[in-house]
């Protein structure tokens, strides 16, 4: 539990620091002129380098997470990667519920946008990620409670 709390604290801190490089109002962006400069040769007028850095870091981060997850899954025993009787439908149900919660979070947060499509997409991404984190936390708590009941009962 202490390790998880430390991980959350480290993740939140590094996220805030990175945001200072990748958002228009960020501390580093305010002090480093080239981050505020328009990116050259882009189809998007007015695109700033801090936005390019933000999106590039998102792509790199997703790639790193995907590689790590794939490696972790491949290290698991073969039997642990197979569904038992009825488990495939349970997985589909859980995945559908998590996807629904994520979608609702994205749509609700995007509905707050006042400045157009780009703003709505940004808010949708944040709302979706937040809802996904909450859905996964709730699922983890439910799974842990069921496992505890199975051990006791």
Q: Look at residues 36, 52, 56 and name the one whose alpha carbon lies nearest to residue 44.
A: 52
CA gap 43, 75 in Å, rounded = 43
**Confidence bin at 114 (pLDDT 50/70/90):** confident
Band the pLDDT of 26: cuts 50, 70, 90: very high
- Taking only Cα atoms into account, the Rg of the chain, rounded to an integer number of angstroms, comes to 20
Q: Is residue 131 scored above 90 in pLDDT?
A: yes
pLDDT digits (tens, 9 = 90+) for 70-110: 999 999 998 887 888 888 888 899 999 999 999 999 999 99
Give burial (CB, 10 Å; 0-12/13-18/19+) of 53: middle
- pLDDT range class, residue 12, cuts 50, 70, 90: very high
pLDDT at 29: 96
What is the pLDDT at residue 153?
64
Distance CA 99, CA 106 (A): 10
- The pLDDT of residue 147 is 84
């Amino acid at each position: 539990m202490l390790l998880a709390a430390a991980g959350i604290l480290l993740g939140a801190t590094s996220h805030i620091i990175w945001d200072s490089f990748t958002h228009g109002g960020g501390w580093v962006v305010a002090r480093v002129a080239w981050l505020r400069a328009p990116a050259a040769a882009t189809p998007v007028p007015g695109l700033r380098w801090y936005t390019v850095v933000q999106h590039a870091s998102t792509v790199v981060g997703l790639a790193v997470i995907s590689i790590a997850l794939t490696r972790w899954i491949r290290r698991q025993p073969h039997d642990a990667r197979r569904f038992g009787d009825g488990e495939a439908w349970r997985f589909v149900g859980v995945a559908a519920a998590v996807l629904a919660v994520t979608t609702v979070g994205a749509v609700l947060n995007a509905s707050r946008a006042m400045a157009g499509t780009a703003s709505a997409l940004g808010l949708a991404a944040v709302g979706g990620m937040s809802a996904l984190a909450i859905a996964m936390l709730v699922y983890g708590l439910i799974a842990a409670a069921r496992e505890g009941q199975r051990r006791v009962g």
